[in-house]
Chain A
């Protein structure tokens, strides 16, 4: 069976510090990978998605970046965090864009920028 792991679960970072959130998927190959952000009590905002190694599509211009160094690894980074980067970050995967593909989410990472 497939599993998705995301870490760290919680972190508190000062403004201007760097960020690295990691996500790995097990039990499948060549997944589509996603990073979403959710502000408190709000919906999900798609940040990045990737259909393969080194292929990253950005949905929202901001100071965040994503990388996919391996097939099942997806990393969200920032060189300098802003207060507005606080939120709940969710990594997710699907088997592709085919009709009816379910999206599977990790447990999320709470980021508080202080």
Chain B
């Protein structure tokens, strides 16, 4: 089954900078979700974007979806040290379960 693949694998930025991470996938999707995982914790849902949407905002998060390129991006603006975490995109492969990529590990330096 397909899964999204995040890029880069790791990202280190300074507080106040923007962080951009990308997700690529291979087949058609109905929606794509982004999740966050603090170290040693479970994943938490951040945002869902449907295949007929190009962009979606939630607070400091901005997600885009380009179905022609089969890619999505997650932008965190004005990052904070508390944003340090791993970020995963998730693809629903039909009537089974969400599959996750390997994630982007974001480190925000105070």
How big is chain B's contact interface, by range? Answer: 20 to 34
A90 at the interface (CB under 8 A from B): yes
- CB-nearest residue of chain A to B90: A103
- CB-nearest residue of chain A to B10: A41
| Cβ 8 A contact of A90, one of B42, B45, B94, B99 | B42
Given A43-B103, A102-B48, CB of A110 within 8 Å of CB of B40: yes
Complex interface bits, B66-110 against A, C-beta within 8 A gives 1, otherwise 0 = 000000000000000000000010101011111111110100000
User: What is the CA–CA distance of A108 and B39 in the complex, to the nearest angstrom?
Assistant: 11
| Cβ 8 A contact of B97, one of A49, A104, A107 | A49
User: What is the CA–CA distance of A110 and B102 in the complex, to the nearest angstrom?
Assistant: 18
User: What is the CA–CA distance of A32 and B88 in the complex, to the nearest angstrom?
Assistant: 21
Query: Chain B residues in contact with chain A, CB under 8 A?
Result: 3, 30-31, 33, 35, 40-45, 48, 50, 88, 90, 92, 94-103, 105
The 9 closest A-B pairs by CB, nearest first: A105-B42, A43-B102, A44-B100, A97-B95, A102-B45, A105-B43, A49-B97, A107-B42, A99-B30
Could you list 24 examples of A-B contacts with CB < 8 Å?
A43-B3, A43-B88, A43-B100, A43-B102, A43-B103, A44-B88, A46-B97, A49-B96, A49-B97, A57-B96, A59-B97, A92-B42, A94-B97, A99-B30, A99-B31, A99-B50, A100-B50, A101-B92, A102-B33, A102-B48, A103-B97, A105-B42, A107-B41, A108-B42
